[in-house]
Amino acid sequence: MKKLYSVLFALFLAAGVLTGCGGNTEEPNENANTKDKETQQVKEESAFPVTIKDALDNEVIIDAKPEKIVSLIPSNTEIAFELGLGEQIVGVNDFDNYPAEAAEKEKVGGQEFNVEKVISLSPNLVLAHESTADAVEVGLQQLRDAGIAVVIVNDVENFDQVFETIIMIGMATGKKEEAERLAANMKEKLEAIIAKAADITTEERKKVFVEVSPAPEIFAVGSDTFMNEMLHIIHADNVVTEAGWMQLDSEAVIERNPDVIITTHGFYTEDPIGNVLGRDGWQDITAVKNKQVVDVDSDMVTRTGPRLVEGVEELAKAIYPEIFK
């Protein structure tokens, strides 16, 4: 019996020691995590003041890490969220829908944003965009006059400029390291797509028609657009060689006879694929005969943000499903 008590006592002591050790290992981990966060915060704050040269060559001085941010265009919003700035974002564009948390933020208007609404949110930083800067210049100046830093982000034309934009937003918000990691990750994924597309021979290249607005007023992607650049990356030929966003009649599309038709209007058009397949006179188009008509997520292929490489991959799968499975 005495021996039994000795064993039980030894086990009890062992359990107590192990419990104590467990508590001691958890505390340093929690303290380490807290210390890491504090170190990161100090590092981010030490990056300020910072001077940003924006898309219009304005030198914008940001004195301290922005605690409140308003984004005036969806691509900027997606970048900011991806950089971990969700809590700092207090206002977004009416059309912001990604990530889901963006829909819960205060809306400040569309292309013509509500100046009073933005000012009422007391932001330290407003992320504007070159594509709308001229149209809202008066409003942007009112924000500057109210003491708010305004950074106009580039209207990009290629992936290198997308990466530069991400770095710009990272520098303006104290998230430069995160921005560099994001850009590097996107580059790596893009290079993998480019490497796979390199195996597509000249004979295998497909002619593509990208429809952004359905009949009766058909608009399509032409040259000198970012989507045309995306098609080029995956070794596909755009049948619309005219510059910009072109309006075409049915006869013009029939004459160009694409191998694949991509639509991007499925978010507001009922059955976009059926719409194309059922059009009068289109039955002899190769894409229609072979039922090579695919609707892709418009936001993924048009918003120049973190999901853009995924958009390239979606286009690749739609055009070359046998290669990009």
Reported as a pLDDT band with limits 50, 70 and 90, residue 40 is low
- The pLDDT value recorded for residue 37 is 55
Whether residue 171 is predicted with pLDDT greater than 90 in this model: the reply is yes
Can you give the residue range of the structural domain that contains 67? 50-188
Q: Can you tell me the mean pLDDT for 265-272?
A: 93
Name 62's Cβ contacts closer than 8 Å, sequence gap at least 6: 48, 49, 50, 51, 52, 124, 125, 149, 151, 172
Both 131 and 218 in one domain: the answer is no
Domain count across the chain:
2
Whether residue 10 is predicted with pLDDT greater than 80 in this model: the reply is no
Whether residue 163 is predicted with pLDDT greater than 90 in this model: the reply is yes
Q: Quick check: 310 and 320 in contact, CB under 8 A?
A: no
Summarised one tens digit per residue, pLDDT across range 109-121 is 998 999 999 999 9
Whether residue 90 is predicted with pLDDT greater than 60 in this model: the reply is yes
Both 162 and 209 in one domain: the answer is no
Both 205 and 112 in one domain: the answer is no
38 in any annotated domain: no
- The pLDDT value recorded for residue 28 is 55
Both 236 and 172 in one domain: the answer is no
Name 10's Cβ contacts closer than 8 Å, sequence gap at least 6: none
Whether residue 216 is predicted with pLDDT greater than 70 in this model: the reply is yes
Distance CA 208, CA 210 (A): 6
> Is residue 261 classed exposed, middle or buried when 0-12, 13-18 and 19+ CB atoms within 10 A define those classes?
buried
Distance CA 69, CA 79 (A): 12
Both 65 and 175 in one domain: the answer is yes
Reported as a pLDDT band with limits 50, 70 and 90, residue 36 is low
The encoded tokens of residue 57 equal 């060559």
Q: Quick check: 312 and 194 in contact, CB under 8 A?
A: no
Task: Annotate 42-72 with DSSP letters as a single string.
Answer: HHHHHT-SEEEE-TT--EEEE-S--SSEEES
CA 180 remoteness from chain centre: 15
Whether residue 213 is predicted with pLDDT greater than 90 in this model: the reply is yes
Both 112 and 229 in one domain: the answer is no
CATH for 212: 3.40.50.1980
57 in any annotated domain: yes
Quick one: what percent of the chain has pLDDT higher than 90?
84
pTM: 0.84
Whether residue 126 is predicted with pLDDT greater than 80 in this model: the reply is yes
325 in any annotated domain: no
Summarised one tens digit per residue, pLDDT across range 67-80 is 999 999 999 999 99
